[in-house]
């Protein structure tokens, strides 16, 4: 059975790409390190490792003796490069093979192709072509088929067209890349696509345009603005005063160039001698500085036409490829000066690789590998790693070492981090290997060891996964012994509850910012205050039972303006390694800031808050006692009564404390209150959990019924998501956790019900049944009831909705008589 090659490689002078044809489409593979489609064709030889691609490119200018690029230009020559770092010689074929091997790593599917199509420039002669083939073989491709770049590009364009088979005549392929320019004349001869002539310049490309922006626009602008003696030299020289700036400008100029392809102007912004420079560059300015270069490329095209005695009418179109053809001036000059339509329908960066893959999809592997051989090459290698490293660490890098047993001679290895942030480069495998692994912070880092044979084929070896946790569970770091929470209002239950800020076992130091809403109006003339109370204890406990760590009280008299209900307060909590708690609150309405650092040894007690806590506890106790008595649980009721008596005692002792009391009594009373709160919380807690659990099941059933009536799959999926960890939260023994789930289910059900007329009809009948005199404004209520009747008659349910909302707001606040002082935030 014939097997297609499918894999195509654009082995470029500057950048290389790999693509695969499958089921009628082409996929360009991305570099697992950084997810870029292009791999710079650069190889760096460091003292102990080989680096290929982006990281190697970083070192080109600084270590040119050991870093090699543009070696494609030397393919097929007898030239070889001496590498001082390894005291070794490398040929262009060997360097190209390294790039090709690196591209193999882009194949995330696990496939290990042994045949490939590699593209070559139209100018390559037989020796250069054979050299490319050898590089392919050396990189582990048993079979290499070559394809000329202009043909590959043409295929990519042709396959984009609806009727590719109708491709006729001749056309030009204009390829202006990052560093090279090529143009080729292509035509169909005897049913076969052929390159009949070509021209090019190996030192012309996008980088020249970036440099033109700096040297012809930015530098003159700076020289107009101030005195910068010998600016260009200071920028370009490695020891120059502005060499760092030059590198910054190169990156910024590239961005400007890209922006100017779509906009008429772009801004470049940088700092020189602590002075901010903003420079607007128009497309017109940019075009004026690159005009001559583009003109030169067009002249090369004209040269081909003249040489072949062709006119514009003989050429169907100019196919544009290479990243620099995005520049509008390029398209414009080619069109106007040549009078030939341009075709830009394919991504110019990936066109050659795409075409190579299309071609590979049509080519069969001439000699498929025998199954026996495949089985042999797939057998795991008898190599074992005995590793040593610290599994938990606070450091940003960790030393890894391993003893390797088995036949390691000639093999190499590479360690990579699963998130793509670290790559050791390729290193020779020895009996002992070591590496400094860079870690991502506050997470578990997984590293894989890849082993390669002498031809750099990845081989199946029994390699361990290296797993290092940074920060999180560090044995040296201090974990929090308890949850840290803030107390917020729970208006529904007329009490306060806890909101988790830092979880138990989180490693210090910690910092978090949250936004909360102000739950009541606080007038400057009034007596109210806002409390930010930070406590330590289980997030599921009642606030009063937790240890207070620090509290900021924002009194009405502290305010610059009245504070309006619904405005936001931004709270930042920070706990240092020495356990100092910093609390900063900013009232976003008036930008007022309050902050305090609490030392846990100095406990802050607010008498007003203590009184309110006692009052709340007393009310809660009364409610519990009533409930127990109703259920004839007299033992529990008696226990609660005892708590109430104790609370009374504490309360009367608090009343006797003066504002400037210097004794320990308030601390003792606070401690006593906390114990009583814990006692009250645990008394009959089982009953409370049972009740909320019963309520949960009822609401869950109701919600499900509502969703099923609608037959809405997306809402069923959301329902499933809400209840996904049901057994966990039901066994949490936490009232608020179960309550939160009930609220989520209610919200989901309400989304459906609020769109149903009967919801509003039923609600209206309820409010209509309330005696008019019971509303806070009976006259208004009567008017709305009247409007509701009319809306019902007309079946105008939008109007009915408004009426229901208005009547709701006219009902008296039943909680008024027993208003929660609370914290004022929620």
Partner 1 sequence: MDPLLTLHIRIINQVFELDKKTAAKPELLSLQRNIDRIKQHFEEAGYTILNPLGETYRETRVDYEASITGEMSSEMEIVNVIKPVVYFTAGGQKSILQKGVVIAAAK
Q: Contact between 592 and partner 1 (CB under 8 A)?
A: no
> CB-wise, 300 or 440, nearer to partner 1?
440
State the Cα–Cα distance between residues 588 and 577, nearest whole angstrom.
29
Residues 243-262 vs partner 1: string with x where CB under 8 A?
xx-xxx-xxx----------
| Contact indicator for 825, 532 with CB cutoff of 8 Å | yes
Which CB sits closer to partner 1, 206 or 544? 206
Tokens representing 607 are: 């008498």
Shortest approach of partner 1 to residue 247 CB, angstroms? 4
Distance CA 294, CA 291 (A): 5
Query: Quick check: 721 binds partner 1 (CB under 8 A)?
Result: no
Instruction: Report in angstroms how near the CB of residue 668 gets to partner 1 at its nearest.
Output: 39
Instruction: Considering only the stretches 219-227, 352-360, 437-445, 452-460, report the one whose residues sit in contact with partner 1 under the rule CB under 8 A.
Output: 437-445
By the rule CB under 8 A, 595 interacts with partner 1: no
* Least CB distance to partner 1 at residue 84 (A): 13
Does 469 contact partner 1 by CB under 8 A? no
- Counting contacts by CB under 8 A, is residue 438 touching partner 1? yes
CB of 258 to partner 1, least distance (A): 12
Binding of partner 1 by 656 (CB under 8 A): no
Q: Does 434 bind partner 1 (CB under 8 A)?
A: no
Q: Toward partner 1, which CB reaches closer, 251 or 809?
A: 251
Measured from the CB atom, is 66 or 170 closer to partner 1?
66
Please tell me whether residue 603 binds partner 1 under the rule CB under 8 A.
no
Among 299, 419, 645, 743, contact with partner 1 (rule: CB under 8 A): 419
- Nearer residue to partner 1 within complex by CB, 63 or 528: 63
**CA dihedral in degrees (39, 43, 48, 54; nearest 10)?**
-30
Q: How far is the CB of 513 from partner 1 (least distance, A)?
A: 6
CA–CA separation, 811 and 506 (whole Å): 46
Element (H, E) at 10: strand 7-11
CB of 248 to partner 1, least distance (A): 6
Could you give the C-alpha distances from 75 to 70, 72, 175, 464, in angstroms and in order? Answer: 10, 5, 20, 39
Rounded least distance, CB 52 to partner 1, Å: 11
Residue number, 59 or 480, with CB nearest to partner 1? 59
Least gap, CB of 446 to partner 1 (angstroms): 10
Closest to partner 1 by CB, 252 or 363: 252
C-beta of 577: minimal distance to partner 1 in Å?
A: 21
Asked whether position 37 contacts partner 1 by CB under 8 A, the answer is: no
Residue linked to tokens 């079946």: 795
Q: Which window, 4-12, 235-243, 449-457, 718-726, contacts partner 1 (CB under 8 A)?
A: 235-243
Distances 662 to 601, 657, 666, 679 between C-alpha atoms, Å: 16, 10, 9, 29
Contacts of 770 (CB under 8 A, 6+ apart): 807, 811
Residue 760 and residue 758: Cα distance in Å, rounded?
A: 5
Q: Is the peptide bond before 225 cis (omega within 30 degrees of 0)?
A: no
- CB of 339: closest distance to partner 1 in angstroms? 37
Q: How far is the CB of 675 from partner 1 (least distance, A)?
A: 37
Q: How many CB atoms lie within 10 A of CB 750?
A: 13
Burial of 701 (0-12, 13-18, 19+ CB in 10 A): exposed
Indicate which single residue of 1, 23, 24, 62 sits in contact with partner 1 (rule: CB under 8 A).
62
Cα distances from 555 to residues 3, 533, 577, 612, in angstroms, run: 80, 14, 31, 15
DSSP assignment, residue 400?
Answer: E
Residue selected from 59, 211, 232, 607 as contacting partner 1 according to rule CB under 8 A: 59
SS3 110: coil
With CB under 8 A as the contact rule, the residue among 201, 208, 369, 570 that binds partner 1 is: 570
Size of the site for partner 1 (CB under 8 A): 42
**Least separation, in Å, of the C-beta of 465 and partner 1?**
15
Write down the H helix ranges in 561-633. 607-630
User: In b/e form, how buried is each residue of 29-46, taking b as 16+ CB within 10 angstroms?
Assistant: bbbebeeebbbbbbbbbb
Q: Is 58 in the site for partner 1 (CB under 8 A)?
A: yes
* Residues near 622 by beta carbon (within 8 Å), at least 6 away in sequence: 644
Q: Does 48 bind partner 1 (CB under 8 A)?
A: no
Q: How far is the CB of 356 from partner 1 (least distance, A)?
A: 23
Q: Determine if 54 is a binding residue for partner 1 (CB under 8 A).
A: yes
Residue with Cβ nearer partner 1 (446 or 649): 446
Residue 413, helix vs strand vs coil: strand
Q: Which of residues 513 and 705 has its CB atom nearest to partner 1 in the complex?
A: 513
Residue 36 binds partner 1, judged by CB under 8 A: yes
**Cα separation, 780 vs 766, whole angstroms:** 17
The residue among 29, 54, 61, 50 whose CA lies nearest residue 39 is 54
Measure the CA–CA gap between 205 and 258, rounded to whole angstroms: 14
Q: How far is the CB of 418 from partner 1 (least distance, A)?
A: 8
State in angstroms the smallest separation of the CB of 586 from partner 1. 7
Q: Where in 490-549 is the site for partner 1 (CB under 8 A)?
A: 513, 515
CB-neighbour burial class of residue 572 (10 A; exposed 0-12, middle 13-18, buried 19+): middle
Q: Which of 424, 496, 533, 644 is in the footprint of partner 1 by CB under 8 A?
A: 424
Please identify, among the stretches 50-58, 197-205, 315-323, 456-464, the one whose residues bind partner 1 according to the rule CB under 8 A. Answer: 50-58
d(CA 20, CA 358): 8
Q: How far is the CB of 264 from partner 1 (least distance, A)?
A: 19
Phi, psi for residue 550 in degrees, rounded to 5: -175, 150
For residue 236, state whether it binds partner 1 (rule: CB under 8 A): no
Residue with smaller CB distance to partner 1, 251 or 374? 251
- Please give the Cα distance from 359 to 145 (Å, whole number): 10
Q: Give residue for tokens 């999926």.
A: 717
**Binders in 301-340 for partner 1, by CB under 8 A:** none
**What DSSP state is assigned to residue 816?**
G
Listed ranges 27-35, 324-332, 676-684, 703-711: which one lies at the site for partner 1 (CB under 8 A)? 27-35
Contact flag: residue 106 with partner 1 (CB under 8 A): no
Least gap, CB of 277 to partner 1 (angstroms): 13
Bridge pairing between strands 397-405 and 384-388: antiparallel
- Measured over the CA atoms of residue 312, residue 317, residue 321 and residue 327, the dihedral's sign is positive
Q: Which residues contact 103 (CB under 8 A, 6 or more apart)?
A: 9, 16, 17, 18, 29, 39
Task: Find the length of the chain.
Answer: 826
Contact assessment for residue 469 and residue 445, using Cβ atoms and an 8 Å cutoff:
yes
Residue 263 or 776 having the CB closest to partner 1: 263
Asked if 258 and 349 count as a contact pair (C-beta separation under 8 A), the reply is no
**Residue 34 interacts with partner 1 (CB under 8 A): yes or no:** yes
CA atoms within 13 A on the CB side of 797: 11
Q: Is 665 in the site for partner 1 (CB under 8 A)?
A: no
When asked if residue 33 is in the footprint of partner 1 (CB under 8 A), the reply is yes
Residue 436, beta-bridge partner list? 399
Choose one: 51-59, 322-330, 456-464, 674-682; the region binding partner 1 (CB under 8 A). Answer: 51-59
Residue 248 vs 723, nearer CB to partner 1: 248
Instruction: Please report how close the Cβ of residue 717 comes to partner 1 at its closest, in angstroms.
Output: 16
What ranges make up the beta strands (E) of 166-274? Answer: 170-176, 181-189, 192-201, 265-272
Q: Which residues bind partner 1 (CB under 8 A)?
A: 33-36, 44, 46, 51, 54-55, 57-59, 61-63, 238-239, 243-244, 246-248, 250-252, 418-425, 436, 438, 440, 443, 513, 515, 570, 586, 591
């Amino acid at each position: 059975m014939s097997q297609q090659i499918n894999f195509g490689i654009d082995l470029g002078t500057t950048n290389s790409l790999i693509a695969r044809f499958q089921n009628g489409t082409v996929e360009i593979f991305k570099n697992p390190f950084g997810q870029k489609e292009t791999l710079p064709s650069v190889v760096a030889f460091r003292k102990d490792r080989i680096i290929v691609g982006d990281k190697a490119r970083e070192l080109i200018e600084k270590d040119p003796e050991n870093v090699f690029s543009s070696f494609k230009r030397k393919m097929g020559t007898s030239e070889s490069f001496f590498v001082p770092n390894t005291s070794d010689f490398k040929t262009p074929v060997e360097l190209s093979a390294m790039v090709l091997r690196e591209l193999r790593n882009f194949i995330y599917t696990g496939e290990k192709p042994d045949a490939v199509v590699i593209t070559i420039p139209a100018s390559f002669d037989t020796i250069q072509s054979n050299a490319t083939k050898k590089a392919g073989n050396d990189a582990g491709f048993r079979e290499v088929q070559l394809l000329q770049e202009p043909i590959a590009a043409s295929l990519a364009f042709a396959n984009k067209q609806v009727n590719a088979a109708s491709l006729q005549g001749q056309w030009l392929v204009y390829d202006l890349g990052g560093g090279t320019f090529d143009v080729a004349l292509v035509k169909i001869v005897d049913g076969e696509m052929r390159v009949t002539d070509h021209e090019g310049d190996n030192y012309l490309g996008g980088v020249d345009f970036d440099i033109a922006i700096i040297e012809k626009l930015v530098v003159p602008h700076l020289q107009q603005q101030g005195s910068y003696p010998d600016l260009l030299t200071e920028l370009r020289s490695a020891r120059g005063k502005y060499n760092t700036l030059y590198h910054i400008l190169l990156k910024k100029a590239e961005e400007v160039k890209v922006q100017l392809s779509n906009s008429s102007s772009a801004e470049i912004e940088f700092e020189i001698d602590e002075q901010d420079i903003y420079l607007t560059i128009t497309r017109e300015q940019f075009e004026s500085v690159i005009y001559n270069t583009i003109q030169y490329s067009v002249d090369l095209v004209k040269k081909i036409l003249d040489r072949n005695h062709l006119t514009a009418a003989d050429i169907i179109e100019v196919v544009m490829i290479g990243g620099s053809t995005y520049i509008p001036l390029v398209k414009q000059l080619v069109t106007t000066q040549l009078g030939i339509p341009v075709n830009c329908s394919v991504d110019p960066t990936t066109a050659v690789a795409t075409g190579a893959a299309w071609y590979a999809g049509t080519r069969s592997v001439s000699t498929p590998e025998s199954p026996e051989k495949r089985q042999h090459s797939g057998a795991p290698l008898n190599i074992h790693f005995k590793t040593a490293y610290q599994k938990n660490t606070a450091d940003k890098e960790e030393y890894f070492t391993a003893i390797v047993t088995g036949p390691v001679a000639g093999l190499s290895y590479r360690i990579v981090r699963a998130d793509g942030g670290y790559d050791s480069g390729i290193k020779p495998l020895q009996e002992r290997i070591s590496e400094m692994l860079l870690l991502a912070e506050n997470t578990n880092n997984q590293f894989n060891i890849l082993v390669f044979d002498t031809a750099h084929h990845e081989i199946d070896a029994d390699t361990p996964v290296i797993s290092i946790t940074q920060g999180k569970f560090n044995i040296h770091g201090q974990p929090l012994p308890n949850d840290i929470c803030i107390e917020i209002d729970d208006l529904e239950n007329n009490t306060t509850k806890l909101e988790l800020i830092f979880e138990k076992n989180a490693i210090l130091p910690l910092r978090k910012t949250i936004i909360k809403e102000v739950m009541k109006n606080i007038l400057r003339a009034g007596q109210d205050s806002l409390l930010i109370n930070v406590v330590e204890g289980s997030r599921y406990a009642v606030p009063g039972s937790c240890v207070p760590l620090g509290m900021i009280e924002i009194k009405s008299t502290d305010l610059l303006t009245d504070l309006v209900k619904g405005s936001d307060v931004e709270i930042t909590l920070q706990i240092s390694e020495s356990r100092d708690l910093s609390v900063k609150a900013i009232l976003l309405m008036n930008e007022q800031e309050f902050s305090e650092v609490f030392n846990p040894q100095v406990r802050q007690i607010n008498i007003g808050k203590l009184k309110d806590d006692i009052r709340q506890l007393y009310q809660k106790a009364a409610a519990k006692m009533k409930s127990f008595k109703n259920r004839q649980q007299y033992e529990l009721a008696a226990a609660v009564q005892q708590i109430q008596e104790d609370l009374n005692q504490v309360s009367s002792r608090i009343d006797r404390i003066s504002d400037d009391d210097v004794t320990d009594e308030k601390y003792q009373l606070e401690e006593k209150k906390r114990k009583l709160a814990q006692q009250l919380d645990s008394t009959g807690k089982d009953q409370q959990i049972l009740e909320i659990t019963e309520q949960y099941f009822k609401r869950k059933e109701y919600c499900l019924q509502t969703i099923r009536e609608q037959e809405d799959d997306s809402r069923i999926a959301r329902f499933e998501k809400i209840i996904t960890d049901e057994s966990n939260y039901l066994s949490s023994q936490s009232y608020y956790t179960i309550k939160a789930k009930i609220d989520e289910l209610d919200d989901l059900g309400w989304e459906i019900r609020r769109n149903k007329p009967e919801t509003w009809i039923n609600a209206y009948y309820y409010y209509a049944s309330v005696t008019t005199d019971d509303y806070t404004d009976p006259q208004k209520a009567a008017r709305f009831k009247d409007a509701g009747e009319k809306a019902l008659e007309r079946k105008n349910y939008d109007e009915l909705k408004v009426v229901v909302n208005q009547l709701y707001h006219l009902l008296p606040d039943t909680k008024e008589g027993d208003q929660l002082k609370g914290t004022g935030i929620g």
